[in-house]
Amino acid sequence: MPRYIRTVHGSRNSSFKMRLVIAAGIALFSFISYLMKADVNEITGETQQVALTEQQEIALGLQAMPTIIQRHHGEHPDQQAQAYVDRVGQRLLQSLNNALKKQGRQNPYRFDFHLLNDDQVINAFALPGGQIFITAALYQQLETEGQLAGVLGHEIGHVLSRHGAQHMAKQQLTQGLVGAAGVAGGDANSAQLARMVGSMVNMKYGRNDELESDRWGVEIMVKAGYDPYAMIGVMKILKRSAGTGRQPEIFSTHPDPGNRIERIKALIQRSYSSDTLSHLEP
């Protein structure tokens, strides 16, 4: 083999090994950083990997709130409807906080409930720290107070479980691993493939969050005196809305309502007796 060919091959091998070393360093740093983001959830007592402190979650939610409201055409002008949402939300929170107090725990979050003046997008969501939103398009579909309680209880569950902060920590880990893969591959295609894999991982993680928030919603509803089977009605409304061609935006992050109906039914039947549920408000 001519000397210049050996030199070129040697240079390529050396460059590839260097990229691998750098990529391994980036991946290791990202993983260690992720593990160091451990914090104990004051409400559940569980150790979680989160990117923010509770106070940072609250500050982030308050900072993002005006942009979210503007994006959905402002807050709804019907003050009676807003007061109704507030009343149901506060009823859920009061029951939750009373239960936590008996356990020697405290809710560190500041909750506010917003009815958005968006009659096109069927959605409800929560920002880290306690800012909770429901669009008019979803609100107008609800048939009972219990169904509204189910929607709000589910979103409260996202906040209590710190899903936003968890997702941000995992996203930071994913970005680090994506960067490492791009360095190792040495081209844009490698980085693009890694991003696709990362997106799939994060989407699966988000769907598990939804099921956990369903469990929170059921628990909070029962504490507040609402029949948790009202959540089944919410799932049917979402499924019916999809059948009319109005694909709810909520489907972009939530599991299919049909699948959730069976899970919610099983959870309720496993957790509560018929006697316990018989006196609850629908």
Q: How far apart are CA 280 and CA 42, in angstroms?
A: 29
Band (178; pLDDT cuts 50, 70, 90): very low
Provide the 10 A C-beta neighbour count for residue 199. Answer: 13
Give the pLDDT mean for 32-38: 51
Mean pLDDT of 196-203: 41
The predicted pLDDT at position 172 comes to 56
Instruction: State the average pLDDT over residues 232-236.
Output: 93
- Please say if the pLDDT value at position 136 is more than 50: yes
Residue 181 has pLDDT above 80, yes or no: no
Q: What is the percent of the chain where pLDDT is above 70?
A: 67
Q: How confident is the model at residue 162 (pLDDT cuts 50, 70, 90)?
A: confident
266, 232 contact by CB (below 8 A): no
Q: What is the largest CA-CA distance in the chain?
A: 89
Q: What is the pTM of this model?
A: 0.75
Using the predicted structure, report yes or no on whether residue 80 has a pLDDT greater than 70.
Answer: yes
In the chain, beta strands by DSSP E: 38-40, 47-49, 112-116, 124-126, 131-135
pLDDT at 131 over 70: yes
Q: Which of 107-111, 137-141, 248-252 has the lowest mean pLDDT?
A: 248-252
Average pLDDT, the chain: 77
**Residue 161 scores a pLDDT above 70:** yes
Where residue 203 falls among pLDDT bands split at 50, 70, 90?
very low
Q: Decide if pLDDT at 231 tops 90.
A: yes
* Residue 83 confidence (pLDDT) above 60: yes
Query: How far is 59 from 110, CA to CA, in rounded Å?
Result: 10
Band (pLDDT 50/70/90 cuts) for residue 127 is confident
What proportion of the chain, given as a percentage, has pLDDT over 90? 40
Q: What is the three-class DSSP state of 37?
A: coil
pLDDT band, very low/low/confident/very high, at 98 (cuts 50, 70, 90): very high
Beta carbons of 115 and 81 less than 8 angstroms apart: yes
